[in-house]
């Protein structure tokens, strides 16, 4: 493990350990404040357990806010893929605890009588301090949770989903006052109340700093503009960007930014696009696939169009490398970050091989061929339709081989290589399974998965 990877592992351990420690401390705080003693009756059990679920829900909600605050140290350690996945898990857990909190607290105030629960809930909402705000916050959080479910997410435009997702901040802000003004633990301890306000204040400051102030400052400092646009094939465009002192962006090949092109309506909708070439002091290049009106409009960008950006993000870089030999495996526009890695990674002849899976038109063919001539990059092309829905290969390989056997035929020493993998989620899942069956350790597989949005 290299030094950067070791540091990232330590940061991940610290973050995970801190979360569990805070959860344990919260439960202890609840217990010593009478949480267990009060559970002698059905109504007392409901009230006390409701307090605990509310506190734990708040802790997880706070963790979610910090996870999506784009804090560079955390982003580099986890990678946005892992953060988004963990954010989703914590979100569902937080919402489940929130619903339990509402139900249990209502039952507790209703004296344990289920028949009185609805009337009690209405009374609590209308008469208790900040409860109306808390209910509005809970509704906002529930709306975010429902629309974030995979089935609902697939039916929505990215813009609509993203706008609704911002209501999570509103929900968190509305829910906080009632906790501080009516929560037993906070009413009995001014010091803990002050600490809770401070933690939430720092979290809000992190979001405003890294998601608002820093992107604006970087965009103004580097003055990034569109230089020119080049078609790479049907529906795929390269955008060349110029700016000031781009070498100070601290960006690595394989990473991506969220881009906003100030070219007219819809400019506020940021889109994640990866670098498709190694970054330089005065030029960046990104690859964009047209999957909807917004991404299709990129092909019509005019030279001089100003750009606001956020990032860089992603761990599909040399930072995670563990082996001297590497394999770069991608499909479709997933070749974009792999093209940048093929150019920038250090390797000798035969130490790097690139596998491109495509149905009709491969990307960056001339550039990959040139890298093969100049640096000894091995090239494997996998054209045609997939052999079956769960396969990573097309008709190019022996139909009698399973994916793992086919992979070992193409790259006999695949188990001794780091594998950088990028493409649609279903496809990358099939490749990951084939790599495991071919003997590649999970620690050697570095994935950046993406879902094409209708935008």
DSSP string, 355-367: EEE-SS--SSHHH
CATH number at residue 328: 3.40.50.80
211 occurs within a structural domain? no
137 vs 367, higher pLDDT: 367
pLDDT band at 392 (very low <50, low <70, confident <90, very high): low
Count of CB atoms situated within 10 Å of the CB of 279: 21
Same domain? For 132 and 59 the reply is yes
pLDDT mean across residues, the chain: 83
What number of residues does the chain have? 455
Q: CB-based contacts of 283: which residues, under 8 Å, 6+ apart?
A: 227, 240, 241, 242, 246, 277
Same domain? For 298 and 324 the reply is no
The two structure tokens encoding residue 356: 């491109």
CATH number at residue 308: 2.40.30.10
Q: Is residue 400 a contact partner of residue 426, using CB atoms and an 8 Å limit?
A: no
198 occurs within a structural domain? no
- How many distinct structural domains can be found in the chain? 3
Strand-pair partners of 236: 233, 289
The two structure tokens encoding residue 121: 């809930």
- Select from 313, 339, 359 the last residue of a domain: 313
Closest to 87 in 3D by CA, of 57, 66, 59:
66
Same domain? For 256 and 277 the reply is yes
Same domain? For 395 and 247 the reply is no
- Listed range (89-93, 107-111, 129-133, 423-427) with the worst mean pLDDT: 129-133
Same domain? For 331 and 280 the reply is no
Same domain? For 284 and 354 the reply is no
- Listed range (159-173, 213-227, 236-250, 356-370) with the worst mean pLDDT: 159-173
> What separation in angstroms does the CA of 87 have from each of 5, 83, 93, 171, 266?
22, 6, 10, 16, 27
Rounded-to-integer distance, Cα 130 and Cα 105, Å: 15
85 occurs within a structural domain? yes
Is the pLDDT at 453 greater than 60? The verdict is: no
pLDDT of residue 455: 43
Is the pLDDT at 326 greater than 70? The verdict is: yes
Is the pLDDT at 452 greater than 60? The verdict is: no
Same domain? For 45 and 69 the reply is yes
Residue 332: give the domain boundaries: 318-449
pLDDT of residue 385: 67
262 vs 169, higher pLDDT: 262
- Select from 270, 287, 313 the last residue of a domain: 313
Is the pLDDT at 112 greater than 90? The verdict is: no
294 occurs within a structural domain? yes
Count of CB atoms situated within 10 Å of the CB of 19: 18
340 vs 390, higher pLDDT: 340
Give the three-state DSSP class for 341.
helix
- Listed range (40-44, 113-117, 156-160, 419-423) with the worst mean pLDDT: 156-160
Same domain? For 306 and 355 the reply is no
pLDDT of residue 228: 92
Same domain? For 86 and 227 the reply is no
267 occurs within a structural domain? yes
Same domain? For 262 and 340 the reply is no
- Listed range (94-108, 123-137, 203-217) with the worst mean pLDDT: 123-137
Rounded-to-integer distance, Cα 448 and Cα 358, Å: 18
pLDDT of residue 224: 94
Same domain? For 270 and 329 the reply is no
- Select from 287, 313, 339 the last residue of a domain: 313
91 vs 184, higher pLDDT: 91
For 298-311, what is the mean pLDDT?
91
For 189-209, what is the mean pLDDT?
84
- Over residues 266-294, the pLDDT tens digits come to 777 788 899 999 888 889 999 988 777 77
199 occurs within a structural domain? no
Same domain? For 100 and 228 the reply is no
193 occurs within a structural domain? no
65 occurs within a structural domain? yes
């Amino acid at each position: 493990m290299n030094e950067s990877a070791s540091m990232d592992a330590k940061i991940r351990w610290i973050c995970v350990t801190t979360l569990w420690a805070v959860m344990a401390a919260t439960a202890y705080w609840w217990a010593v404040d009478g949480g267990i003693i009060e559970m002698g009756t059905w109504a007392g059990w409901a009230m006390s357990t409701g307090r605990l679920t509310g506190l734990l829900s708040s802790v997880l909600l706070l963790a979610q806010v910090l996870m999506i605050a784009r804090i560079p140290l955390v982003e580099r350690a986890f990678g946005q893929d892992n953060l988004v996945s963990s954010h989703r898990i914590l979100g569902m857990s937080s919402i489940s605890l929130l619903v339990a909190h509402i139900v249990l607290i209502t039952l507790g105030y209703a004296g344990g009588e289920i028949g009185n629960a609805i009337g009690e809930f209405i009374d609590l909402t209308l008469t208790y301090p900040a409860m109306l705000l808390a209910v509005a916050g809970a509704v906002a959080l529930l709306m975010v949770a429902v629309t974030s479910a995979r089935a609902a997410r697939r039916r929505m435009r990215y813009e609509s989903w993203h706008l609704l997702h911002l209501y999570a901040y509103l929900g968190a802000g509305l829910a906080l006052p009632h906790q501080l003004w009516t929560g037993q633990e906070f009413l009995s301890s001014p010091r803990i109340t002050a600490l809770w306000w401070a933690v939430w204040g720092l979290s809000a400051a992190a979001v405003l700093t890294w998601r608002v102030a820093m992107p604006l400052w970087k965009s103004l400092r580097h003055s990034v503009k569109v230089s020119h646009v080049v078609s790479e094939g049907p529906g795929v465009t390269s955008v060349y960007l110029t700016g000031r002192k781009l070498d100070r962006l601290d960006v690595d090949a394989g990473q991506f930014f969220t881009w906003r092109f100030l070219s007219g309506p819809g400019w506020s909708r940021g889109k994640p696009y990866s670098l498709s070439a190694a970054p330089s002091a005065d030029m960046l290049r990104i690859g964009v696939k047209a999957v909807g009106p917004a991404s299709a409009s990129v092909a019509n960008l005019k030279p001089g169009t100003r750009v606001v950006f956020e990032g860089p993000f992603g761990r599909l870089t040399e930072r995670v490398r563990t082996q001297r030999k590497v394999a770069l495996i991608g499909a479709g526009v997933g070749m974009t970050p792999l093209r940048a890695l093929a150019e920038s990674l250090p390797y000798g002849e035969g130490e790097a091989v690139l596998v491109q899976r495509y149905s009709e038109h491969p990307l960056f063919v001339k550039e990959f061929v040139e890298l093969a001539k100049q640096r000894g990059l091995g090239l494997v092309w996998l054209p045609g339709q997939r052999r079956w829905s769960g396969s990573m290969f097309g008709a190019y390989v022996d139909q009698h081989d399973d994916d793992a056997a086919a992979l070992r035929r193409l790259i006999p020493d695949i188990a001794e290589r780091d594998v950088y993998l990028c493409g649609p989620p279903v496809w990358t899942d099939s490749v990951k399974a084939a790599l495991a069956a071919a003997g590649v350790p999970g620690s050697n597989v570095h994935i950046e998965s993406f879902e094409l949005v209708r935008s």
